[in-house]
Amino acid sequence: MARSSDEAPDYGRGVVILDNWPGYDLNLFTYPQHYYGDLDSVLIPHGIIVDRIERLAKDIMKDIGNCDIMVLCVLKGGYKFCADLVEHLKNISRNSDRFVSMKVDFIRLKSYKNDQSMGEMQIIGGEDLSTLAGKNVLIVEDVVGTGRTMTALLGNIRKYKPNMIKVASLLVKRTPRCDGFRPDYVGFEIPNVFVVGYALDYNEYFRDLNELVHFDPLLLQHICVINEHGKEKYRV
């Protein structure tokens, strides 16, 4: 997280986690026992995730809080981020003089198998996108890797002529395969590693969605780096 003093900070990158950041030792935190041995380190503890989202909500409201917002949550990975972000957006709206109408909709995409992008993005669920016509859309995504998923989704959504589209992504990876796409709001810029937890999955594992519904204090709340053993164990 170092920066030379004459370099201006680029807040558009979010909190920058450098490649040489070893992460936190897993033994310093709690996480579900069934994942013991499958993880490498805690990259971002839950508390820091939530603190950062609070600030993203403030930035978003400052920019687009003067209009009604249609939040489009990209399932399933964006679920936790979206829930926490919307909670903060609502709090800010409640405490301001202008009521911001906010609707939340969901879309489901799939592009990864194991830890590799399959290139082609499939929309496999969600509302009829024509309801986005004329709306101010805030897309809420968990992680932008190569950027292909988001570029494909944006291409699709633009066809329905929304008034405005902004993208908030909790994470952006520094990857050489990046197609240049950058979200408008970024929580954290991370090294090119595969991460799980906080609803981000590896082949649907580590997401613990059932536990999200029946609140379980042992769900994987932190964003963690999966290790080779974990990748092998949950490979499909």
Tokens of 128: 């009829």
| CA angle in degrees (0–180, nearest 5) for 149-155-160 | 130
CB 95 within 8 A of CB 123: no
* Number of amino acids touching ligand IMP (CB under 6 A): 18
DSSP characters over 160-219: T--SEEEEEEEEEE--TT--S---SEEEEEE-S--EEBTTB-BTTBT--HHHHHTT-TTS
- Stretch 61-80 residues interacting with Mg ion (CB under 5 A): 74, 77
Residue with Cβ nearer ligand IMP (93 or 156): 156
Question: Does residue 205 bind ligand IMP (CB under 6 A)?
Answer: no
Binding to Mg ion by residue 142, rule CB under 5 A? yes
Closest residue (Cβ) to ligand IMP? 145
Residues in the chain: 236
Q: How far is the CB of 75 from Mg ion (least distance, A)?
A: 8
Q: How many CB atoms lie within 10 A of CB 116?
A: 9
Among 84, 141, 189, 208, binds ligand IMP (CB under 6 A): 141
The alpha-carbon radius of gyration of the chain (Å, integer) is: 18
Among 71, 107, 200, 219, binds ligand IMP (CB under 6 A): 200
Helices 46-64 and 79-94 meet at what angle, rounded to 10? Answer: 50
Q: What is the smallest separation between the CB atom of 192 and ligand IMP, expressed in angstroms?
A: 9
Residue 147 within binding range of Mg ion, rule CB under 5 A: no
Binders in 29-88 for ligand IMP, by CB under 6 A: 77
Nearer to ligand IMP, 26 or 121 (CB): 121
Give the footprint of ligand IMP on this chain (CB under 6 A). Answer: 77, 111-112, 117, 141-149, 194-196, 200-201
Give the footprint of Mg ion on this chain (CB under 5 A). Answer: 74, 77, 142
